[in-house]
Structure 1
């Protein structure tokens, strides 16, 4: 069998596994009581496990799934880092750098930011006593996300400055939304920085985190405005390019991460500056709007992908992993909306039949996302049962 050439978008395979691990963490986040901390940790898991019965089975099952996805995330991350290092020495990389496709390199810092989130979740859930010292860890989280953000900014400034200086950007051929990958990377950094902003009690940490998070959100807005109109015009004129078809869903993870960033920064403002409680009515409106917008993008994108027969044929194996993150993001944003928008405003009762009925479509989307991750991995990564043998060329 012919070996497949490497492409930076293969980082999305690692990103998808990490994102799915985070999506399963949402079950612990919103279904396990943790009144003494903003996130569930080892002690909450142990208390739920000790109840026995169905709760014990679910804790074991979800924990094993999170661990398996995390292991696969880091396995694929290591392979991608090694392969990308080799790829940079090839003529294919030099060719890529002279095209709009250079934005694909943003998948690297995007995945690194996801890795920090996965490490944070694993530490909180499975390391006894770690959460008791979490305040001392937030400065390191801040520095980690700042480092990734600076690296992402250097890559993107290098790319966009070449585009603006050369003036040879093929605007009419931009009939896909791949340029939103830059916004996706920056919003992943923004949401990571917003975490210590929301949970740290050290003023310099939460102020620095908030300001830096707002900086990257501003970059996200600029990219969406700058490239959104150009891409939409090209798509309407020429149709969506099939190799980049999954980019039609890129707005879903961007909406999701923007919503979570808002929740975290708003929590910081409420608790630290205003010394009041979070206004759940405002969260209902903001998260509800973003979730409905994601639903609209998802439905339109699904119809377009079906028309292009993309689910049966993916002409670009690396780009095909762009199907995974939107499914992950939709589930995560849905969980936030159900909890903060519906449960916290007493529209539904937690753990009631209606609560689980409303969550069931999210579980379905999550299951389909896992199915597609397996399908794409088998088709584009594991055909020889060893991902490390993919050629970096």
Structure 2
């Protein structure tokens, strides 16, 4: 009895990534619905007060958020541990040696990508489940910065191995196999490290901590953008020549989560600069920035879905007979759109005075974010059943 997941690929780190992202979508309920006037983010005490004083809708929203955060943080961490265990065994195989001799070596960046998401998810769980955590939060920020710096070093090490090989030995990079946005995975990993590095800027009141957070997150963010631009241009050129690789079709959507992550990065830096250095941002400028990022997302969403539909990707790899670990890349765009819609609504439209909070228009846009979220939850469990469910009988093939 075998399962698709028994044939291990580093892309299975995307299982952990997707679960962590879904935990963030449930945290958005608390972030924007629960009052937290004295803190930039809601913590256990804020949620408890809102639950006690709020009506039934508020209480239902909080319960849903807690259930969602619990389920998907557990899935995130469990999947991360499973992947690390399997990866250590995978390194000893011939399949690994073949992987690191091809363009697919950048799949290894899925590991630091998932690790960075897990640190973010753990912080969310700590804030909403641990009473009194905020009283010691300043002491935790240096550890968080060290953790993200270590993950960033791992990402650069993997990326350095790849670039060192392909840029010093001619002919080892297969341009004909570059016909997708698969090479944007390193940019995604670096952007996730960057947004994690920016978290202390969004929550700390210590100027030195905020300064280190802003500088470090800017470095990783710029590195992400530089790599993304180069990889996207060369990848699109290859796609124009050879068409899009069918199994890598979902990578066309990777720009969507990168934009969300970079958008949150900018908001976190903006808050830190305001707190520590008295730098002020106008609400309408934030709205314009988020709208620009969302516009990029919509353009690439339309492009990606067009190609996936024409290639019948869903028919083959999501609902059909074939399985590909790359199908988990479909989760990230939906999660990213859900989160970005929440920020665009609350930090953009509401802050600029275009939409009243908790009005009919507010809940209409919120419903769009929740629709993305629910669709991705369904997709996660669907793919998990296909890849990790009961194995299928296989017939031994005689050796030639």
- The TM-score bracket by the shorter chain reads over 0.9
User: Partners of 2:265 and 2:61 in 1: how far apart?
Assistant: 29
Match in the other structure for 1:244: 248
User: Partners of 2:234 and 2:168 in 1: how far apart?
Assistant: 18
What secondary structure is seen at the aligned counterpart in 2 of 1:6? coil
User: Partners of 1:283 and 1:187 in 2: how far apart?
Assistant: 19
- Residue 193 (structure 1) shift: 0.6
Match in the other structure for 1:320: 327
**TM-score (structure 1 length as normaliser):** 0.95
Tell me whether 182-191 or 364-373 shows the greater mean CA deviation: 364-373
Equivalent runs, 1:179-218 vs 2, <5 Å: 179-218=183-222
2:2 counterpart of 1:2 = yes
User: Partners of 1:55 and 1:6 in 2: how far apart?
Assistant: 43
Query: In angstroms, what is the RMSD of aligned CA positions?
Result: 1.4
Conserved in 2, the CA contact under 8 Å of 1:7 and 1:318?
A: yes
Once the two structures are superposed, residues 221-255 of structure 1 have per-residue CA deviations (whole angstroms, 9 ceiling, x without a partner) of: 22122211111011122221111111010000111
- CA 1:208 to 1:286, structure 2 compared with 1: closer, same or farther past 3 Å? same
User: Partners of 2:229 and 2:360 in 1: how far apart?
Assistant: 42
Equivalent runs, 1:196-275 vs 2, <5 Å: 196-273=200-277, 275=278
2:362 counterpart of 1:355 = yes
Which residue, out of 306, 316, 334, partners 2:341? Answer: 334
Which residue, out of 49, 52, 72, partners 1:47? Answer: 49
Once the two structures are superposed, residues 256-289 of structure 1 have per-residue CA deviations (whole angstroms, 9 ceiling, x without a partner) of: 111111111122223322x154321111111011
Conserved in 2, the CA contact under 8 Å of 1:243 and 1:316?
A: no
User: Partners of 1:52 and 1:317 in 2: how far apart?
Assistant: 45
Equivalent runs, 1:300-311 vs 2, <5 Å: 300-311=303-314
Match in the other structure for 1:17: 19
What secondary structure is seen at the aligned counterpart in 2 of 1:312? helix
User: Partners of 2:203 and 2:224 in 1: how far apart?
Assistant: 23
Tell me whether 308-317 or 207-216 shows the greater mean CA deviation: 308-317
2:58 counterpart of 1:91 = no
Match in the other structure for 2:396: none
User: Partners of 2:260 and 2:248 in 1: how far apart?
Assistant: 21
- CA 1:38 to 1:228, structure 2 compared with 1: closer, same or farther past 3 Å? same
Equivalent runs, 1:7-86 vs 2, <5 Å: 7-50=9-52, 51-86=54-89
Tell me whether 92-101 or 287-296 shows the greater mean CA deviation: 287-296
Once the two structures are superposed, residues 144-199 of structure 1 have per-residue CA deviations (whole angstroms, 9 ceiling, x without a partner) of: 11111111111111111111011221123211100000000000000001111232
- Residue 3 (structure 1) shift: 4.1
Unaligned residue ranges in structure 2 (runs of 5+): 393-400
Tell me whether 180-189 or 169-178 shows the greater mean CA deviation: 169-178
